[in-house]
Amino acid sequence: MKLNCDLGESFGSWEKGLDELAMQDIDQANIACGFHAGDPLVMFKTLLLAKKNKVEVGAHPGYPDLVGFGRRSIKCSAQEIESMMIYQISAIDGMAKSMDINVEYVKPHGALYNDMMADKTTRLAVMKATASYHKPLKLMIQATADYKTHQDEAKQLGLTLLAEGFADRRYDDTGRLLSRNEVGAVLNQEQMLEQVNQLKETGTITTTSGLRLPLALDSLCVHGDNIAGVEAIKAIRQILQG
């Protein structure tokens, strides 16, 4: 089980995240492509950090929403979603290729990720965009009870999925993330480390009602927005290596 983190989300003089510190303990960097965050210089610097730390690079496309940080849904046609994704993937992939770096996967950001999980039309548009790119790319998608269905959808397009889980989020009984509007949706550090240890030892998570659900993951999402987050990444890494 690898660790992935959303990085490269600064923009101009606005700085977000402790990318240099977070990059030291992760396996996969989801790098913003300029629509919800990031700019050419930030993308370049983040790619350099990934190369220095031997971290896999993934494109992190979102809705064109710098003001809302890509966390607001935007009503788009399937063709618009496919086009905006290919545009963003091409931007990060072109820059990476000039630096002798390979972009290996795609993980949608924020509202686009949530919409992909909730709406089949959006999900298929995201899948088609990833599958139609000129080189093979994997798509990172949340592991839920519907993951087998999502795999079948992807298989029809010749697309490989990466099953993702979240270290610091509480799950409901369907295997989906509890809404951030619900009490207890975001775990404190002690709860988060307990969940990671349970995943490692038993391959399960405990839902909000106490139910144990199996969760087979390829990658676990962590956050490097602040010092506490970076310290948590180190603690998670120690558990997984321990």
Q: Got the DSSP string for the chain?
A: -EEEEEE---BTTB--S-HHHHGGG-SEEEEE-SSSS--HHHHHHHHHHHHHTT-EEEEE---S-TTTTT-S-----HHHHHHHHHHHHHHHHHHHHHTT--EEEE---HHHHHHHHH-HHHHHHHHHHHHTSSS--EEEEE--TTHHHHHHHHHTTT--EEEEEETTB-B-TTSSBPPTTSTT-B--HHHHHHHHHHHHHHSEEE-TTS-EEE---SEEEE--SSHHHHHHHHHHHHHHH-
pLDDT of residue 156: 97
Residues 158-201 have pLDDT tens digits of 999 999 999 999 999 888 888 878 888 899 999 999 999 999 99
- Mean pLDDT of the 142-161 span: 95
Closest CA relative to residue 232, chosen from 20, 6, 26: 26
- Mean pLDDT of the 200-207 span: 93
Mean pLDDT (the chain, rounded) = 94
Q: Is the pLDDT of residue 229 over 90?
A: no
Residues 115-147 have pLDDT tens digits of 999 999 999 999 999 999 999 999 999 999 899
- Mean pLDDT of the 94-118 span: 97
pLDDT of residue 178: 86
pLDDT of residue 85: 98
Q: Is the pLDDT of residue 157 over 90?
A: yes
Structure tokens of 193?
Answer: 């480390």
Residues 33-61 have pLDDT tens digits of 999 999 999 999 999 999 999 999 999 99
